[in-house]
């Protein structure tokens, strides 16, 4: 892993504040995953017309329907996305060997029949609760007069909400079992010993987070500073611009149609595009987890999972039940989770799977112990893969109506790209198992299975990134390269959009060329509670230069946005676990897939159009209402200042 010697040691004052920052970031990781919801729709403007015009130019038909081909995924239920525009090519892309996906089965009421329904009957939501929290679109109803009168939190409340969440989540939010519907096997509440272990887990996380900042700063003798964001940005822009293709102005043919440009993108991303893949975007948890559950239940040989975390909730335990059953059938089940996060979230469900004989690798690099495994992937029978932003929890799956319904996106693919995904998983698994001295069965990539893919028309590259490195940020480089190849439109949907200098420069250069740029990210109201105190102000701070340059900025209303994708010129898309924010360049291992296919990307553009139609458009800098509290100001000065340095 490349390091750059930092010539100038940071001052003691900066060092203290950076260490303090890591403390509050640790609180962010520990905080419960909830958000304050707000219902305030915004007009979509003319974006829908632009989508339709783009479709016509590409010769793609457009009609109103669910944006996935498995219409059965919501059969018998209210259609969550009935207003999406679906793009359909003349060659239908479908998984011929997978039947229609049935509606996700709701869990039954618990043994005490607390919800008024006996066993064998589907759990139903009271109509008054539907009115109060519209599960179909993930939005809460407008605030009552009393709620409005309550106003904003006080100065001190803003500063210490994170601390409250930190301790509150230890004893209440981890398992999400209070007065909520249960899975068929009752989920027990955490014991005192469980809570003590969780408390120790938070201390463990805090220690390694602080250690990471000390080591990365180069402050101590014998340590070497990691690249600064300015260094990363300078090198990244230089590498992207070192091209045989000059950026083109709006209206000219997209560079993403040029094979030579695509070859350069492959070199930067360290991942080649494979031909003949089939793509299907899975919009939100009901659709994605219906597919995940189905694939795992019907697996014949193997199930490999990469996850940031499992929750001890309905979704986490239902997934564990499926995997334990498949393990008993003799399948090869392997899971990689982040070790530090597993100490505080999902410890009981992980322990249950381990007792059943499932091999679980708790990811923690020996030389980068403060880094995180943020990858989300599923590989089944070497035939299907799902990559995206969803962890195994109720916020993502929407299986529990009593928690927020986060907006997220996964992608299902079948084809040669599945084996490329498996190679990445296998390399991490084999190397770390040996390093940790674990007696786990090795994944043998020398034995290639007979291809049994559903042939499609999409080109897919699987991009893996393990920071920090000044000259090697494959996901970031591929995103920047695609933006510099744009001649029409760039759509970015990213949960925690905090632009480092390279991203800001690429977007501003695109605007100079006349390229339309649209960005959707979280607002202060929508962002999940764990990130509210420490990231919402940084998000708002990074947006003014973009708004001034004519970028169409939208901020989410309602429940948290967790989706992470970008599309360019209706041809290219990048989707996965990577957030466009500094932490992913410094401390998180990520996995994205790059896709070239007009028909598939057109569907994702339609999803984006629907999402911004329910968001608030920022028409002026004043609307951002960037008024940070004292804690946010400290973070901006000593950590986020490099994101938008004063000129």
Cα 471 versus chain centre, distance: 24
Lowest mean pLDDT, pick from 290-294, 577-581, 634-638? 634-638
Q: Angle at CA 479, nearest 5°, toward 646 and 225?
A: 55
Q: If you average pLDDT over residues 605-630, what whole number do you get?
A: 86
Contacts by 445-454 with C-beta closer than 8 Å and gap 24+?
448/419, 449/382, 451/416, 452/382, 452/383, 453/276, 453/277, 453/278, 453/383, 453/414, 453/415, 453/416, 453/418, 454/95, 454/96, 454/97, 454/278, 454/414, 454/415
Q: Under a CB-based contact definition with an 8 Å cutoff, are residues 183 and 349 in contact?
A: no
> 3-state class of 489 per DSSP?
strand
CA distance 68 to 86: 8
Q: Residues 500-529: pLDDT tens digits?
A: 999 999 999 999 999 999 999 999 889 887
Cα 123 versus chain centre, distance: 29
Q: Residues 361-406: pLDDT tens digits?
A: 999 888 788 888 999 999 999 999 999 999 999 999 999 999 999 9
Q: Facing residues of 359 across strands?
A: 334
> Would you state the pLDDT for residue 53?
54
> Would you state the pLDDT for residue 11?
43
Nearest to 283 by CA among 388, 376, 383: 388
> Would you state the pLDDT for residue 362?
94
Token pair belonging to 390: 């969803």
> Would you state the pLDDT for residue 521?
96
Q: Under a CB-based contact definition with an 8 Å cutoff, are residues 381 and 302 in contact?
A: yes
Q: What is the pTM of this model?
A: 0.74
CA distance 305 to 308: 10
> Would you state the pLDDT for residue 211?
78
Token pair belonging to 402: 């009593």
Token pair belonging to 168: 């509150």
> Beta 552-555 vs 359-363: how paired, if at all?
unpaired
* Top-ranked range on mean pLDDT: pick from 439-448, 463-472, 552-561: 552-561
94/608: higher pLDDT? 608
> Would you state the pLDDT for residue 618?
94
Q: If you average pLDDT over residues 124-153, what whole number do you get?
A: 36
> Would you state the pLDDT for residue 623?
85
What's the whole-number average pLDDT of the chain?
75
- Count CA atoms closer than 13 A to 558's CA, side-chain side: 28
> Beta 61-64 vs 359-363: how paired, if at all?
unpaired
CA distance 406 to 275: 33
Q: Residues 207-231: pLDDT tens digits?
A: 777 777 778 778 778 778 888 888 8
| In the predicted structure, residue 616 carries a pLDDT above the cut 80 | yes
| In the predicted structure, residue 347 carries a pLDDT above the cut 80 | yes
Lowest mean pLDDT, pick from 41-50, 292-301, 602-611? 41-50
Lowest mean pLDDT, pick from 227-231, 232-236, 338-342, 372-376? 227-231
> Beta 516-521 vs 489-494: how paired, if at all?
parallel
Could you give phi then psi for residue 264, rounded to 5 degrees? -65, -40
Q: Residues 11-28: pLDDT tens digits?
A: 444 544 555 555 554 444
Beta carbons within 8 Å of 227's beta carbon, 6+ residues apart: 3, 4, 235, 468, 469, 470
Token pair belonging to 286: 């009901």
Token pair belonging to 368: 């980068």
CA distance 46 to 29: 39
> Would you state the pLDDT for residue 629?
62
Residue 172's pLDDT band, with cuts at 50, 70 and 90, is very low
> Beta 588-596 vs 372-373: how paired, if at all?
parallel
| In the predicted structure, residue 450 carries a pLDDT above the cut 50 | yes
> 3-state class of 595 per DSSP?
strand
Q: How far is CA 533 from CA 179, 202, 268, in A?
A: 28, 18, 35
Instruction: Find where tokens 């301790």 sit.
Output: 167
- DSSP-assigned letters across all residues of 509-572: HHHHTT-EEEEEE--TTTSBHHHHHHHHHHHHHHSHHHHHTT-EEEE--SSPB--EEEEETTTE
* Top-ranked range on mean pLDDT: pick from 38-47, 210-219, 318-327, 467-476: 318-327
Token pair belonging to 236: 């990244």
| In the predicted structure, residue 470 carries a pLDDT above the cut 80 | no
Residue ranges with strand state E in 350-457: 359-363, 372-373, 377-380, 384-388, 409-414
Percent of the chain exceeding pLDDT 70 equals 65
> 3-state class of 361 per DSSP?
strand
Chain length of the chain: 647
> Would you state the pLDDT for residue 371?
87
Q: Under a CB-based contact definition with an 8 Å cutoff, are residues 26 and 534 in contact?
A: no
Longest dimension (CA), the chain: 69
The H or E element that residue 480 is part of is: helix 474-484
Residue 24, burial from CB neighbour count under 10 angstroms (0-12, 13-18, 19+): buried
> Would you state the pLDDT for residue 203?
80
Nearest to 495 by CA among 409, 574, 569: 409
> 3-state class of 244 per DSSP?
coil
Residue 419, burial from CB neighbour count under 10 angstroms (0-12, 13-18, 19+): buried
3-state helix/strand/coil string of 98-146: CCCCCCCCCCCCCCCCCCCCCCCCCCCCCHHHHHHEECCCCEECCCCHH
CA distance 385 to 16: 44
> 3-state class of 438 per DSSP?
coil
| In the predicted structure, residue 149 carries a pLDDT above the cut 80 | no
Q: Residues 566-577: pLDDT tens digits?
A: 999 999 999 999
Q: Under a CB-based contact definition with an 8 Å cutoff, are residues 526 and 557 in contact?
A: yes
Nearest to 533 by CA among 1, 30, 7: 30
* Top-ranked range on mean pLDDT: pick from 481-495, 532-546, 616-630: 481-495
> Would you state the pLDDT for residue 384?
96
| In the predicted structure, residue 479 carries a pLDDT above the cut 50 | yes
Q: Residues 92-105: pLDDT tens digits?
A: 333 333 333 333 33
Could you give phi then psi for residue 483, rounded to 5 degrees? -65, -40
CA distance 86 to 105: 26
Give the start-to-end residue ranges of the domains of the chain.
47-148
> Would you state the pLDDT for residue 123?
23
146/287: higher pLDDT? 287
| In the predicted structure, residue 270 carries a pLDDT above the cut 80 | yes
Q: How far is CA 558 from CA 149, 274, 363, in A?
A: 19, 38, 33
CA distance 3 to 18: 19
> Would you state the pLDDT for residue 345?
86
């Amino acid at each position: 892993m490349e390091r750059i010697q930092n010539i100038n040691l940071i001052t003691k004052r900066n060092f203290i504040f950076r260490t303090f920052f890591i403390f509050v970031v640790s609180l962010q990781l520990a905080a419960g995953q909830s958000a304050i919801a707000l219902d305030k729709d915004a007009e979509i403007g003319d974006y829908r017309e632009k989508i339709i015009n783009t479709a016509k130019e590409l010769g793609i038909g457009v009609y109103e329907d669910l944006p996935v081909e498995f219409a059965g995924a919501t059969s018998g239920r209210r259609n969550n996305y009935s207003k999406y525009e679906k793009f359909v090519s003349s060659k239908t892309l479908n998984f011929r060997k997978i039947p229609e996906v049935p509606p996700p089965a709701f869990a039954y009421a618990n043994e005490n029949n607390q919800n008024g329904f006996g066993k064998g009957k589907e759990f139903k939501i009271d109509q008054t609760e539907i009115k109060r929290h519209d599960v179909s679109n993930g939005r809460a109803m407008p605030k009552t007069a009393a709620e409005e009168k309550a106003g904003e939190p006080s100065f001190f409340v803003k500063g210490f909400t994170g601390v409250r969440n930190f301790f509150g989540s230890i004893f209440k939010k981890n398992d999400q079992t209070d007065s909520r519907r249960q899975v068929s096997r009752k989920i027990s509440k955490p014991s005192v010993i469980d809570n003590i272990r969780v408390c120790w887990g938070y201390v463990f996380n805090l220690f390694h987070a602080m250690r990471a900042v000390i080591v990365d700063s180069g402050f101590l003798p014998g340590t070497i500073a990691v690249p600064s964001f300015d260094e990363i940005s300078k090198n990244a822009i230089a590498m992207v611009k070192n091209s045989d293709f000059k950026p083109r102005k709006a209206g000219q043919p997209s560079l993403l149609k040029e094979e030579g440009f695509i070859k350069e993108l492959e070199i930067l991303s360290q991942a080649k595009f494979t031909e003949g893949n089939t793509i299907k975007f899975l919009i939100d948890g009901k659709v994605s987890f219906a597919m995940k559950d189905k694939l795992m239940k019907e697996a014949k040989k193997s199930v490999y999972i990469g996850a940031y975390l499992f929750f001890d909730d309905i979704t986490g335990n239902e997934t564990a039940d499926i995997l334990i059953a498949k393990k008993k059938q003799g399948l090869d089940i392997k899971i990689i989770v982040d070790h530090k996060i597993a100490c505080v979230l999902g410890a009981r469900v992980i322990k249950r799977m381990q007792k059943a004989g499932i091999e679980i690798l708790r990811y923690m690099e020996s030389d980068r112990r403060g880094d995180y495994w943020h990858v989300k992937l599923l590989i089944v029978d070497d035939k299907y893969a799902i990559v995206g932003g969803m962890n195994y929890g109720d916020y993502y799956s929407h299986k529990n109506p009593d928690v927020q319904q986060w907006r997220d996106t996964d992608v299902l693919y079948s084809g040669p790209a599945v084996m490329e995904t498996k190679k990445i998983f296998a390399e991490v698994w084999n190397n770390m198992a040996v390093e940790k001295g674990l007696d786990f069965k090795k994944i043998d990539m020398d034995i290639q299975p007979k291809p049994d893919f559903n042939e499609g028309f999409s080109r897919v590259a699987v991009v893996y990134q393990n920071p920090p490195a000044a000259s090697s940020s494959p996901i970031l480089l591929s995103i920047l390269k695609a933006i510099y190849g744009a001649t029409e439109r760039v759509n970015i949907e990213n949960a925690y959009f905090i632009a480092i200098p390279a991203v800001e420069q690429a977007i501003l250069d695109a605007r100079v060329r006349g390229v339309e740029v649209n960005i959707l990210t979280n607002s202060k109201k929508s962002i999940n509670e764990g990130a509210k105190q420490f990231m919402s102000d940084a998000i708002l701070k990074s947006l003014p230069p973009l708004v001034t340059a004519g970028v169409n900025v939208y901020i989410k209303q309602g429940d948290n946005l967790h989706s992470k994708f970008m599309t360019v010129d209706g041809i290219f898309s990048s989707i996965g676990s990577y957030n466009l924010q500094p932490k992913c360049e410094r401390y998180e291992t990520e996995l994205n897939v790059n896709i070239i296919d007009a028909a598939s990307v057109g569907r994702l553009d339609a999803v984006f159009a629907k999402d911004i139609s329910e968001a608030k458009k920022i028409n002026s800098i004043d609307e951002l209402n960037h008024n940070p509290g004292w804690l946010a100001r400290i973070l901006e000065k000593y950590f986020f200042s490099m994101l938008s340095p004063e000129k």
